[in-house]
């Protein structure tokens, strides 16, 4: 068999995964409640089919043939990378015993209801036994996958390859040093006016404006669409059909718009992948088994955060679009000027809920989760002691007292109920990468700043396509960063961005 055979068989894996993505898009946007049970079976069947095809004898024979065919190519050629990635993915999946995976899936579906009940009642003891089992299963998985220094490294590998517990600790310490003084100073500063964000904004107008702005920054709706959901997300079924969703709150304006800009950022990553990579492993994450072109979850998040925060929450953006938003909501924003609007959508205040946190305090919510997850996995924190550790860490970082273990506390996120441990770091890595890429783009291509000032988003978008999106999964996250910015992950541009922005908005000395 040959390299072409490998492309053919991995193309079929991509088809299974994309079919699953269509079903999951439908489940999250259109499906009536009653469809849930059979849908989860359908999704599991497709995921297992994809995994089995990946690890099949047919795939291995194709891989051997392909390895011979590409032997003369350079190590970073697309062909050599495809062969290496397929080999690595097969190796990863074969290390995890089928029985362990089965236990995790079974527990995941049972634990979800238990978690929802515990969260509703704000009673951690209801969820503790299921979480204990989940932590045990994840620890077993970490040992099966293998790691050098810390079991958490093995769990993060699936989402953010190359990230280690030790590296994360260093990164978090640096972020805290830079950010805690800002958070403390802001809590004592005068708050910007924000009353006008809480008026009655018709839902249709919100969806219309969100879509207009997503298109304006470059989201291609000939290859995409926007729908409404409870939890916004982006999903691609190849680069030619990349869908986004946002959520609408009638009495809170920013949610629908920034949700759409965020997801459009994810979408433009997928829409910008080299067309030649369609259906290949360079547009298929064979380790996490998602049909995506993004190189890591953090890299993906960098594109959404960049468009949401560095563009959508910038002063230039509101200087340009204040007129548009007044037209979208006739009479509702006549008493607000662009500077007031800019400040209002950048208010920062320590809060309890991750998904509602602002740009400055968001990362503290991530640090809490990563640190406590790692401790549970290595056994230095008992599950029973988790709520106390959670509350103490939130108090330490954000200076606030968590009122309960439910929606505002340790039970707020769905992730642990499905057994996902090791995924939270990608949000903070995305924030850091976004600032690093934006800083380089605007410094090395001076026209980008000028173009943003005149609401022309093409030069920035083109830079991101050339330096990030087009490569798909060809390079690792750090290789991509080195090529684009001359160095690996560096928190300094992010800290500089936050310091400059918030010192200005809150007139800090
Ligand atoms: Zn995102």
Instruction: Output the CA 235–ligand 1 centroid distance in Å.
Output: 11
Q: How many other β-carbons are positioned within 10 Å of the β-carbon of residue 492?
A: 14
Give the pLDDT of residue 509: 74
The residue among 141, 142, 134 whose CA lies nearest residue 110 is 134
Q: Which of 234, 263, 301, 359 is catalytic?
A: 263
How many angstroms does the Cα of residue 430 sit away from the middle of ligand 1?
Answer: 9
Q: Is the pLDDT of residue 24 over 90?
A: yes
Residue listed under structure tokens 């890299």: 299
- For the chain, helix (H) and strand (E) counts, in that order, are 20, 3
Q: How far is the CA of 4 from the centre of ligand 1 (A)?
A: 34
Instruction: Measure CA 291 to chain center.
Output: 15
Distance in angstroms (rounded) separating the CA atoms of residues 506 and 500 = 10
> Is the torsion defined by CA of 284, 285, 287, 288 positive or negative?
negative
The structure's pTM equals 0.96
Characterise 422 by phi-psi region: left (phi > 0), alpha (psi -120 to 50), beta (else). left
In order, the DSSP letters of 25-80 are HHHHHT--GGGHHHHHHHHHHHHHHHHHHHTSHHHHHHHHHHHHHTTTS-TTSHHH
Task: Specify whether the CB–CB gap between 164 and 215 falls below 8 A.
Answer: no
Determine the distance separating the centroid of ligand 1 and the alpha carbon of 264, expressed in angstroms. 10
For CA atoms 215, 220, 223, 224, give the dihedral sign: negative
143: tokens are: 């040992």
How far does the centroid of ligand 1 lie from the alpha carbon of residue 143, in Å? 29
State yes or no: pLDDT of 5 exceeds 90. yes
Residues within 5 Å of ion ligand 1, judged at the Cβ atom = 304
pLDDT of residue 230 exceeding 90? no
**CA 62–ligand 1 middle distance (angstroms):** 35
Give the CA angle between residues 30, 35, 38 to the nearest 5°: 135
The pLDDT mean for the chain works out to: 96
Name the DSSP class of 477: H
Q: Which of 422, 439, 442, 427 is closest to 487 using CA atoms?
A: 439
Determine the distance separating the centroid of ligand 1 and the alpha carbon of 434, expressed in angstroms.
Answer: 12
Q: 226-228 and 242-246 as β-strands: parallel, antiparallel, unpaired?
A: parallel
Contact assessment for residue 43 and residue 50, using Cβ atoms and an 8 Å cutoff: no
Confidence class for position 37, pLDDT limits 50, 70, 90: confident
Percent of the chain with pLDDT over 70: 100
Q: For the chain, what percent of residues have pLDDT higher than 90?
A: 94
Are 290 and 236 a contacting pair, CB within 8 Å? no
User: Would you say residue 174 has pLDDT above 90?
Assistant: yes
Gap from CA of 263 to ligand 1 centroid (Å)? 6
pLDDT-derived band at 188, boundaries 50, 70, 90 = very high
The answer, yes or no, to whether residue 377 has pLDDT greater than 80, is yes
Tell me, rounded to whole angstroms, the distance of Cα 287 from its chain centroid: 17
Give the sheet arrangement for strand 234-236, strand by strand. Answer: 226-228, 242-246, 234-236
Which uninterrupted H or E stretch holds 220? none
For the chain, the helix, strand and coil percentages under 3-state DSSP, each to the nearest 5: 65, 5, 30
Chain position carrying tokens 């800002």: 182
- Name the CA radius of gyration of the chain, rounded: 23
Residue 269 CA to ligand 1 centre (angstroms) = 12
Take residue 67 and report the two structure tokens written for it: 């390895």
pLDDT of residue 418: 87
Half-sphere exposure of 119 (CA within 13 A, CB side): 18
Q: Are 389 and 407 in contact (CB under 8 A)?
A: no
Ligand 1 centroid, distance to 33 Cα (angstroms): 25
- Two structure tokens written together for 367: 């640090």
Q: Which residues does residue 234 pair with via DSSP β-bridges, in sequence order?
A: 244
- Average pLDDT of 456-462? 98
Tell me the average pLDDT across 16-39: 93
Using CA atoms, how far apart are residues 477 and 181, in angstroms rounded to an integer? 30
If you search the block for the tokens 């000395």, which residue do you land on? 509
Say what the pLDDT of residue 34 is.
Answer: 93
Q: What is the pLDDT averaged over residues 474-482? A: 97
Q: Taking residues 474-496, what's their average pLDDT?
A: 97
Average pLDDT over every residue of 270-275: 98
Could you tell me which of 280, 353, 337 has the C-alpha nearest to residue 82? Answer: 280
Question: How many whole angstroms separate alpha carbon 331 and alpha carbon 342?
Answer: 19
Q: In this predicted model, what pLDDT tens digit does every residue of 73-122 receive, in sequence order?
A: 999 999 999 999 999 999 999 999 989 988 988 888 789 889 999 999 99
Residues in CB range of 485: below 8 A, 6 or more apart: 436, 437, 439, 440
Residue pointed to by tokens 């509101």: 318
Question: Is the distance from CB of 107 to CB of 88 less than 8 angstroms?
Answer: no
Catalytic site residue 234? Answer: no
CA of 85 to the centre of ligand 1 (A): 24
- CA of 304 from ligand 1 middle (Å) equals 6
- CA–centroid distance, 426 to ligand 1, in Å, is 9
- Segment 170-196 mean pLDDT: 96
Please write the tens of the pLDDT for every residue from 137-162: 999 999 999 999 999 999 999 999 99
Complete DSSP assignment for 235-264: EESSTT-EEEEE--BTTBTHHHHHHHHHHH
Which helix (H) or strand (E) segment holds residue 228: the answer is: strand 226-228
């Amino acid at each position: 068999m040959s390299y072409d055979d490998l492309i053919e068989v991995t193309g079929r894996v991509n088809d299974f995964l994309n079919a699953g993505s269509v079903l999951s898009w439908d489940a999250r946007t259109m499906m009536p409640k009653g469809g849930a049970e059979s849908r989860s079976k359908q999704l599991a069947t497709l995921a297992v089919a994809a995994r089995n095809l990946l690890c099949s004898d047919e795939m291995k024979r194709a891989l051997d043939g392909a390895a011979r065919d590409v032997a003369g190519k350079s190590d970073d050629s697309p062909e050599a990378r495809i062969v290496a990635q397929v080999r690595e993915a097969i190796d990863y999946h074969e290390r995890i015993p089928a029985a362990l995976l089965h236990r995790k899936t079974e527990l995941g579906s049972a634990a979800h209801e238990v978690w929802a009940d515990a969260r509703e009642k704000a009673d951690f003891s209801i969820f503790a036994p299921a979480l204990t089992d989940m932590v045990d299963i994840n620890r077993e998985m970490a040992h099966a996958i293998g790691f050098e220094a810390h079991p958490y490294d093995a769990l993060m590998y699936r989402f953010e390859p190359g990230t280690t517990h030790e590296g994360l600790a260093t990164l978090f310490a640096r972020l805290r040093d830079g950010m805690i003084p800002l958070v403390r100073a802001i809590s004592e500063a005068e708050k910007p006016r924000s009353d006008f964000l809480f008026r009655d904004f018709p839902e249709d107008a919100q969806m219309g404006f969100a879509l207009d702005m997503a298109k304006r920054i470059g989201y291609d709706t000939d290859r995409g669409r926007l729908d409404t959901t409870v939890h916004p997300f982006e999903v691609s079924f190849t680069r030619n059909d990349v869908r986004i969703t946002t959520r609408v709150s009638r009495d809170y304006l920013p949610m629908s718009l920034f949700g759409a800009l965020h997801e459009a950022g994810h979408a433009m990553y997928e829409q910008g992948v080299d067309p030649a990579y369609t259906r290949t492993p360079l547009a298929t994450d064979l380790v996490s088994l998602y049909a995506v072109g993004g190189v890591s979850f953090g890299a993906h998040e960098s594109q959404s955060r960049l468009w949401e925060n560095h563009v959508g929450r910038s002063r230039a953006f509101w200087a340009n679009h204040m007129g548009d938003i007044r037209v979208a909501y006739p009479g509702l924003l006549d008493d607000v000027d662009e500077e007031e609007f800019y400040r209002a959508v950048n208010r920062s205040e320590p809060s309890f809920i991750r998904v509602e946190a602002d740009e400055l305090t968001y990362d503290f919510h991530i640090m809490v989760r990563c640190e406590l997850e790692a401790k549970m996995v290595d056994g230095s924190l008992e599950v029973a002691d988790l709520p106390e550790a959670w509350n103490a860490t939130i108090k330490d970082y954000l200076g606030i007292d968590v009122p309960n273990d439910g929606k505002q506390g340790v039970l707020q996120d769905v992730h642990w109920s499905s057994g996902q441990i090791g995924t939270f770091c990608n949000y903070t890595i995305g924030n850091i990468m976004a600032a690093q890429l934006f800083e380089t783009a605007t410094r090395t291509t001076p026209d980008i700043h000028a173009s943003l000032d005149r609401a022309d988003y093409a030069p920035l978008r083109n830079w991101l396509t050339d330096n990030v999106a087009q490569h798909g999964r060809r390079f690792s996250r750090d290789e991509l960063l080195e090529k684009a910015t001359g160095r690996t992950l560096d928190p300094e541009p992010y800290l500089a961005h936050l310091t400059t922005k918030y010192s200005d908005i809150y007139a800090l000395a």
